[in-house]
A and B are shown apart, each in its own frame.
Chain A
């Protein structure tokens, strides 16, 4: 039995502890916003937070979440009120949209750690997240914009 919280809700699961967290989130918990892209921590589409840290859930066994708190894109803010989501809307970032859950989850950790990130900070934090459509320039703008929103008092 593995027990952890997902987006604030406690879950108890009978599952092979070596199963990647990604597939438990997607298939057992039905939260399909977290995406499969590579299965080897290369693309970042599966990024979630475990106790606030960005984790590639495709290579993290579900046992790693035991007793911890997991946040997925569905928990970032379901009503799009997070400054990152608002900035993503204002910059009209997504194209196909498949990688964007992971992009947002990586960006959320970046902004928490560096409220006013430089371009170099963005490079460092976001280079693990691939976007095949090429939305990088807009992601960069949106992160700066979200940082400004937070600085001007838009609570996170």
Chain B
């Protein structure tokens, strides 16, 4: 048993309270009501006595257990995994458990990052203790209430599936809720021994699935408010461009158009409907002052990166003397890897609805960054942050884009609401979304390495060139403290696990006027590719099997070895493949979890086809293996899309890609067979949303080499550029 002292201040003591939310819509009360055009405050109250022992759970006399979740649901399963943690400790009846998104409040801050947010694959492992303790505290109070009523000792009571039991006596949590609400939360709680878990570790079905199958789930784009108008914005075609002049004569005369107004983001067209706003925007004539980026070209930028990589960068890691060791190496390998800018490309384009009043501001959006979004909205609204409430809807994908350090999509919507004078929803078209910036930065890795006469790796030097993501964000101070490089640029290479005695990592921070941001797996999305391809090249120089070569360098890293062996074994690494097929392997540590992939590919007429991916994942003590498998598969597909198809390029300052036709995503007919194997252990829990991504590209690229003998050093993979 684990005993922990609870922070009293974390526990809201709420006595019997009336709550309307529970009866209206169980799964998503507030938002469902709003979608139907009702404001939350208009909802009828009921006499449902509610027991809310802390900020994370509410139990009604109707037996319903509502878990208030402080992380956003963007597909990664937090509306299920976090309730599982709480419900397991509560001994709740799972069929009575629902979820509700948390409002913005400091008590819902991320325990590690200190703001309310979703990112870093950290929701479950950072909430593990919090949600378990919240459930255990509620359980203790329900037991105390029952013990009082029966006049027995609490220690003689036990719980089972939503009831407290003493001998033949039994009271349900709903029956006990009013009495429990009058008690004081305990100072200490006892957490279960893992062997007593009933939910944790089981492939429990997601709680949010039913409403995602009949159109009921409400995403930001679905929010409807009484009297609401819809806006689209004409944004600069080049980053940093400004409106010089605009003529809205034709646009203003178009049906449904209510107002056209210049805001800092561009020219907002406000109309009765989206389609009217979009049509009017097309009739708008804007003259732009193109600004400093007018001649920006990614081809040129990569040339500059290549030149920059020839000079020493800021030292990130220095073991031994890589230069000297390379000079005396029996065989040397030099390789330059390039990855492009990438769009997050969530299926649901950005949007934000705002109801701005004289003394309040309500925002509805799929946010990953509630605290920051509220602060930024408050600044524009001219209100103190506590007068601004942000309602988190379902996110139609996030991948980091909805955690924008400047709250770009929220700030502009508040500007539009100011001008509109009525509730308004800003919708981005797919083209707006893709061209709106905040991409995964393009990166270049120049790597040199050497092996000795016995085929041992003796030297490795990585030089990275790319833009910093952290600079200028709320995390810059904490992340870059005492460092003159951005850890998010080098994560995954600064901690390269391979036992190579002489290892240098250097970083060049490029200054480019393209806004960049974290995208699913952040720095690992390119360091995984570059390092795992280069290890393969070193193995080639050493004349060794790529899997065995890695094993030799990972002897002190049992968890790396564990996933590597598991993936190799399940893939049948030693078994021959049919002619025309090749196999590649990769292993990577990211977000506190270990991952390895084996890819099987064929290449015909220059087209790479991925037939099978075998994924092994070690995320320590796991919570929901069904969700872990889904995230691992999804991560592999996300990584494969980037490896095979995706690239954002600029010419004359303008982005060349606009929609799914020019920035493709892997489709059903291109999707490989994917197998996921989860390592069973009780190590500290790690992340799961992102660790499945980094290995996909190098495993595929290494498989391409196995079948063609050509090295892939640039993404997306184009056989015409293979070496």
B468 to chain A, nearest CB (A): 26
The answer to whether the Cβ of A34 comes within 8 Å of any Cβ in the partner chain is: yes
Residue among B208, B399, B668 with the most chain A CB within 10 A? B668
Q: Is the CB of A127 within 8 A of B348?
A: no
Q: Is the CB of B76 within 8 A of A73?
A: no
The answer to whether the Cβ of B406 comes within 8 Å of any Cβ in the partner chain is: no
Given known pairs A95-B630, A130-B665, A137-B673, the reply for A36 and B221 (CB within 8 Å) is yes
Chain B 395-412 against A: per-residue CB contact (8 Å), 1 yes, 0 no?
111110000000000000
The answer to whether the Cβ of B304 comes within 8 Å of any Cβ in the partner chain is: no
Q: Is the CB of B348 within 8 A of A98?
A: yes
Q: Hey, which chain A residues are within 8 Å of B273, CB to CB? A: 23, 27-28
Q: Is the CB of A74 within 8 A of B75?
A: no
The answer to whether the Cβ of B226 comes within 8 Å of any Cβ in the partner chain is: no
Q: Is the CB of B661 within 8 A of A42?
A: yes
Q: Is the CB of B634 within 8 A of A98?
A: no
The answer to whether the Cβ of A12 comes within 8 Å of any Cβ in the partner chain is: no
Q: How far is the CA of A99 from the CA of B348 in the complex (A)?
A: 8
Q: How far is the CA of A20 from the CA of B278 in the complex (A)?
A: 12
Find residues 8-63 in chain A having any chain B CB closer than 8 Å to their own CB. Answer: 16, 19-20, 23, 26-28, 30-40, 42-43, 45
The answer to whether the Cβ of A67 comes within 8 Å of any Cβ in the partner chain is: no
Interface of B is mostly: loop
- Residue from A20, A37, A130, A137 within 8 A of B667 (CB atoms): A130
Q: Is the CB of A89 within 8 A of B218?
A: no
Q: Is the CB of B669 within 8 A of A123?
A: yes
Q: Hey, which chain B residues are within 8 Å of A40, CB to CB? A: 430, 659-661
The answer to whether the Cβ of A78 comes within 8 Å of any Cβ in the partner chain is: yes
Chain A 95-123 against B: per-residue CB contact (8 Å), 1 yes, 0 no?
11111110010000000000000000011
Q: Is the CB of A133 within 8 A of B214?
A: no
Q: How far is the CA of A27 from the CA of B612 in the complex (A)?
A: 42
Given known pairs A36-B349, A135-B630, the reply for A85 and B394 (CB within 8 Å) is no
- Residue from A27, A93, A95, A127 within 8 A of B668 (CB atoms): A127
Residue among B209, B273, B431 with the most chain A CB within 10 A? B209
The interface stretch among B486-494, B635-643, B703-711 is: B635-643
Q: Hey, which chain A residues are within 8 Å of B35, CB to CB? A: 32
Q: Is the CB of B222 within 8 A of A32?
A: yes
Q: Is the CB of A31 within 8 A of B213?
A: no
Q: Is the CB of A133 within 8 A of B659?
A: no
The answer to whether the Cβ of A138 comes within 8 Å of any Cβ in the partner chain is: yes
- Residue from A33, A38, A127, A135 within 8 A of B634 (CB atoms): A135
- Residue from B74, B222, B638, B669 within 8 A of A127 (CB atoms): B669
Q: How far is the CA of A73 from the CA of B222 in the complex (A)?
A: 14
Residue among A20, A37, A80, A128 with the most chain B CB within 10 A? A37
Q: Is the CB of B210 within 8 A of A89?
A: yes
Q: Is the CB of A45 within 8 A of B347?
A: yes
The answer to whether the Cβ of A70 comes within 8 Å of any Cβ in the partner chain is: no
Q: Is the CB of B218 within 8 A of A140?
A: no
Q: Hey, which chain A residues are within 8 Å of B291, CB to CB? A: none
Q: Hey, which chain A residues are within 8 Å of B661, CB to CB? A: 40, 42
Write the chain B residue with the least CB distance to A30.
Answer: B224
Given known pairs A38-B659, A42-B660, A76-B214, the reply for A134 and B396 (CB within 8 Å) is no
The answer to whether the Cβ of B275 comes within 8 Å of any Cβ in the partner chain is: yes
Q: How far is the CA of A74 from the CA of B222 in the complex (A)?
A: 14
Q: Is the CB of A35 within 8 A of B348?
A: yes
Q: Hey, which chain B residues are within 8 Å of A20, CB to CB? A: 275
Write the chain B residue with the least CB distance to A34.
Answer: B215
Q: Is the CB of A43 within 8 A of B660?
A: yes
- Residue from B209, B429, B673 within 8 A of A92 (CB atoms): B209
Q: Hey, which chain B residues are within 8 Å of A80, CB to CB? A: 210, 213-214
- Residue from A31, A96, A123, A134 within 8 A of B666 (CB atoms): A134
The answer to whether the Cβ of B654 comes within 8 Å of any Cβ in the partner chain is: no
Chain B 622-636 against A: per-residue CB contact (8 Å), 1 yes, 0 no?
000010001101111
Find residues 172-208 in chain B having any chain A CB closer than 8 Å to their own CB. Answer: 203, 205-206, 208
Q: Is the CB of A23 within 8 A of B275?
A: yes
Q: Hey, which chain B residues are within 8 Å of A96, CB to CB? A: 73-75, 346-348, 394-398
The answer to whether the Cβ of B212 comes within 8 Å of any Cβ in the partner chain is: yes
Write the chain A residue with the least CB distance to B256.
Answer: A16
Write the chain B residue with the least CB distance to A122.
Answer: B668
Q: How far is the CA of A74 from the CA of B212 in the complex (A)?
A: 11
Q: Hey, which chain B residues are within 8 Å of A77, CB to CB? A: 214
B723 to chain A, nearest CB (A): 30
Write the chain A residue with the least CB distance to B635.
Answer: A134
The answer to whether the Cβ of A131 comes within 8 Å of any Cβ in the partner chain is: yes
Q: Hey, which chain B residues are within 8 Å of A36, CB to CB? A: 221, 274, 349, 427
Q: Hey, which chain A residues are within 8 Å of B397, CB to CB? A: 96, 98, 132-133
Q: Hey, which chain A residues are within 8 Å of B636, CB to CB? A: 134
Residue among A32, A34, A39 with the most chain B CB within 10 A? A32
Q: How far is the CA of A96 from the CA of B396 in the complex (A)?
A: 5
Q: How far is the CA of A132 from the CA of B668 in the complex (A)?
A: 11
Q: Hey, which chain B residues are within 8 Å of A4, CB to CB? A: none
Q: Is the CB of B634 within 8 A of A134?
A: yes
Chain B 268-310 against A: per-residue CB contact (8 Å), 1 yes, 0 no?
0000011100000000000000000000000000000000000
Q: Is the CB of A137 within 8 A of B214?
A: no
Q: Is the CB of B668 within 8 A of A72?
A: no
Residue among B73, B203, B216, B631 with the most chain A CB within 10 A? B216
Chain B 517-541 against A: per-residue CB contact (8 Å), 1 yes, 0 no?
0000000000000000000000000
The answer to whether the Cβ of B217 comes within 8 Å of any Cβ in the partner chain is: yes
Q: Is the CB of B668 within 8 A of A129?
A: yes
A141 to chain B, nearest CB (A): 11
Q: Hey, which chain B residues are within 8 Å of A95, CB to CB? A: 75-77, 630-631, 634
The answer to whether the Cβ of B674 comes within 8 Å of any Cβ in the partner chain is: yes
Chain B 701-723 against A: per-residue CB contact (8 Å), 1 yes, 0 no?
00000000000000000000000
Q: How far is the CA of A98 from the CA of B213 in the complex (A)?
A: 10
Q: Hey, which chain A residues are within 8 Å of B659, CB to CB? A: 38-40, 42
Write the chain B residue with the least CB distance to A85.
Answer: B213
Q: Hey, which chain B residues are within 8 Å of A126, CB to CB? A: 668-669
A96 to chain B, nearest CB (A): 3
Given known pairs A40-B659, A131-B347, A138-B630, the reply for A33 and B667 (CB within 8 Å) is no
Q: How far is the CA of A93 from the CA of B222 in the complex (A)?
A: 21
Q: How far is the CA of A131 from the CA of B457 in the complex (A)?
A: 41
The answer to whether the Cβ of B345 comes within 8 Å of any Cβ in the partner chain is: yes
Q: How far is the CA of A37 from the CA of B626 in the complex (A)?
A: 27
Q: Is the CB of B633 within 8 A of A94?
A: no
Q: Is the CB of B660 within 8 A of A97?
A: no
Given known pairs A19-B275, A124-B669, A137-B674, the reply for A97 and B75 (CB within 8 Å) is yes
Residue among A80, A98, A130, A139 with the most chain B CB within 10 A? A98
The answer to whether the Cβ of B677 comes within 8 Å of any Cβ in the partner chain is: no
Q: Is the CB of A31 within 8 A of B215?
A: yes
Q: Is the CB of B347 within 8 A of A89?
A: no
Q: Is the CB of B222 within 8 A of A94?
A: no
Q: Is the CB of B212 within 8 A of A97?
A: yes
The answer to whether the Cβ of B128 comes within 8 Å of any Cβ in the partner chain is: no
Q: How far is the CA of A135 from the CA of B428 in the complex (A)?
A: 25
A-B contact pairs, 6 of them (CB 8 A): A27-B274, A36-B427, A92-B205, A94-B206, A132-B345, A134-B633
A residues in contact (CB < 8 Å) with B: 16, 19-20, 23, 26-28, 30-40, 42-43, 45, 72-74, 76-80, 85, 88-89, 92-101, 104, 122-124, 126-140
Given A92-B205, A96-B75, A98-B397, 17 more A-B residue pairs with CB atoms under 8 Å apart are A32-B218, A37-B660, A39-B429, A39-B431, A39-B659, A40-B659, A40-B661, A45-B347, A73-B215, A88-B213, A92-B206, A98-B348, A101-B215, A127-B669, A132-B397, A134-B634, A136-B666
